Amino acid sequence: MLTREDIQSQGVALEARPYPKRHGEPNRTSTSGSTGKPVTVVSTQIQQLMWNALTLRDHLWHRRELWQKFAAIRKIKGHDTRDRRSSSYPTWQPPVSDVFHTGPGALLSIHTGLENQVAWLIEERPAYLLVYPTNLQALIDICRRDNLRIPGLRQIRTMAEIVPPELRVQCREVLGIEIADMYSSQECGYFALQCPGHDHYLVQAESCLLEVLNDAGEPCGVGETGRVVVTPLLSYAMPLLRYEIGDYATVGAPSPCGRGLPV
C-alpha cells in the first residue's frame, strides 16, 4: 500500500518522467492537511478534465435547474477573518458555464459569522447551496432556533466532510430539502457521488479504482466496513497505486437506480 507518509517522504521520487504529453501541463496541488498530514501531488490537465466531467455528471444526475442561482459558503484562499467577504458572478462559473447557460452565482467566505451567513442566504435566495456539513449543522441550528426558512432553496450540496445520517434528517425537518453529498480528495479527485433519490454513493469507476479492504487486506463484502484504498486511473504524472487515504467506507448492495456503478 501507498500511504500519506510515503508521499510526504518520497516527494519527487514518485513523479513519472516522462508521462504522456497529451495529458497536458503538470500542476502541483497540496492538500489542506485536514488529517494533520498534508501531501503534495502532481496532476495534469486531463485529470482536471475528468474532474470537470464528473462535476457536470453530478448536476445532470440530480436534474438541477441550471438557470437558477447557485451559492457556496466555503474557504476563500487568503481570507481568514470573521469579516464578511462575498462575491457575485453572472454565471455558475466553469466548468458548468463552459457547457451550459446558467443563472448567477454567489460566494461567501466560511469565516463569516454564522448569523451573517444566514442573513446572506436569505438575502441571496439561492436555489442550490454548496457548504461543509459541519457548517450546515450550525446553520440548521440557527434556523431551528429562530424558526427561519431560506426562501427558494431547493437542494444543499455538501463536500469535504462526513455527512451523519442525523444531519440529513434535520435538513429535511428544518429546511424541507435534501442533501446531495460527494466524496473526493484534493490529491485524487472524485471517488463517489451520491445517487439521485438515495443516500448511498456511486463510485466513479471511470476515474478511479476504489477498494474497501478488511484487516487482512481482503475485499469487504456487502455491509462490511473497511479501509479505503484508491488508485486514480489518470494520475500518470504521479501514479498513486493503491493509495491508503486514511478513510473507512461500507460496501453497499447494487443500486436499484440501474447505473451499474459500485456502491
pLDDT tens digits along 204-220: 999 999 999 999 999 99
Q: Left, alpha or beta for 35 (phi > 0: left; psi -120 to 50: alpha)?
A: alpha
pLDDT computed for residue 80 by the predictor = 67
Rg (CA), the chain: 19
77 by Cβ neighbours in 10 Å (0-12 / 13-18 / 19+) ranks as: exposed
Q: Give residue 35's pLDDT.
A: 54
Q: What is the spatial distance between Cα 102 and Cα 99, in angstroms, rounded to a whole number?
A: 9
pLDDT for the residue 85: 84
For 57, the grid coordinates are 455528471
| Most confident option among 21-25, 80-84, 176-180 | 176-180
Q: How confident is the model at residue 104 (pLDDT cuts 50, 70, 90)?
A: very high
pTM: 0.89
Q: pLDDT grade, residue 26 (50/70/90)?
A: confident
Residue type, 116: N
Q: How far apart are CA 12 and CA 225, in angstroms?
A: 33
Asked whether the predicted pLDDT for residue 121 surpasses 90, the reply is: yes
Over pLDDT 70: what percentage of the chain? 95
The 10s digit of each residue's pLDDT in 149-170 is 899 999 999 998 999 999 999 9
Answer whether residue 172 shows pLDDT above 80: yes
Task: Give me the pLDDT at residue 34, please.
Answer: 53
Average pLDDT, the chain: 92
